[in-house]
Amino acid sequence: MRRRVRVLIVEGSAVTRRVLSAILAADRELEVAGAVAGVQDAHEAMARLRPDVVTLDAAILSRRGLASLERLMRASRTPVVLVSPPTRKGREMTLLALDLGAAGVVRMPSRELVRRMPDVVSEMLGAVKAAARGRTEPDAATAEPSAASVIAVGASTGGTDAIQQFLMAMRPDAPGLVIVQHMPERFTHAFAERCNGLCPVRVREAKDGDLVSPGHALIAPGNLHMRVRRDGRRYRVALENGLPVNGHRPSIDVLFTSTAAAAGEKAVGVILTGMGADGARGLSAMKRAGARTLAQDEATCVVFGMPREAIALGAVDHVLPLSELGRVALELCGPRPR
């Protein structure tokens, strides 16, 4: 009989510790090795209990406490699954902990917890088991390098609302996003800040050389092209003046074409509402490079021009309503079936 996966729960609330313990203990593949209230307590418990996976309440973290978490993960090499509360601080700490190497995240709903408890249970069990399986895979230092996924998004007329809805569907640990919205300079910074206050991922106006990293969305500044460049196993963005392309700077074609060259089949391309044809040829380049491609459907577009042109070029794998695009983009970021 296969040994059960031993889980250590690190949770600030005594009530939530009992709830999580009951959820995990009810699964035949898991065993609750222990439950403690803080990261400092976890250091001693790790040495004594030797768990296979740790679940950690992101709400108990602080910027100062992240150093302690990093030491814990490096010393034990035990995967950490974050339990992320629906607060701004919780999202911030979740993203910072993911950057340090946390293995996954389970989102707690902001409301209707009782009604959504089955989903929470399923997500919790799935995340813990996935983290345990990942521990048995080759060490990252010796495994074959693989670049993270990139989601590239382009929009024009009607795009500010469409982009916001798309980002609302992302997970806090979503693949790095790069976005072009046709918008004058000085307006993109305010747009990014507005999205950042509403969306699960961290959103900001891009700066030259920014890393494309999980849980982050970079919006091209007005009046600058944004390209994706490969940097070893990672991606960065490059900003440049250049001539307008298709009458636009930033241009969606510039973003998509560079993403095709840098990320190939590791990318997903999404073209949203907008007038004209910018992005159609770039999305076609992404598809030829092996990327999965999506377009917003006519019924939910303010202007169907850009998606129509991309569809006419044969550049689109899936045409979907705006409400479905975020979910499907995340699904397509998983491994291809072989």
Q: Which phi-psi region, left, alpha or beta, contains residue 270 (left: φ > 0; alpha: ψ -120 to 50)? A: beta
The reply to whether 156 belongs to the active site is yes
Cα 116 to Cα 272: distance, rounded to the nearest angstrom: 30
The reply to whether 161 belongs to the active site is no
Q: Which of 52, 84, 149, 156 is catalytic?
A: 156
Could you give the C-alpha distances from 225 to 53, 181, 195, 268, 283, in angstroms and in order? Answer: 43, 11, 20, 19, 16
- The SS3 call for residue 276 is coil
Q: How far apart are the first and last CA of the chain?
A: 30
Q: In what side-by-side order are the strands of the sheet with 150-155?
A: 202-205, 216-219, 176-181, 150-155, 267-271, 292-296, 318-320
Cα 80 to Cα 128: distance, rounded to the nearest angstrom: 9
Amino acid at 249: R
Answer for the pair 257, 176: CB distance below 8 angstroms, yes or no.
Answer: no
Q: Which of 182, 216, 225, 248 is catalytic?
A: 182
Active site (catalytic) residues:
156, 182, 278
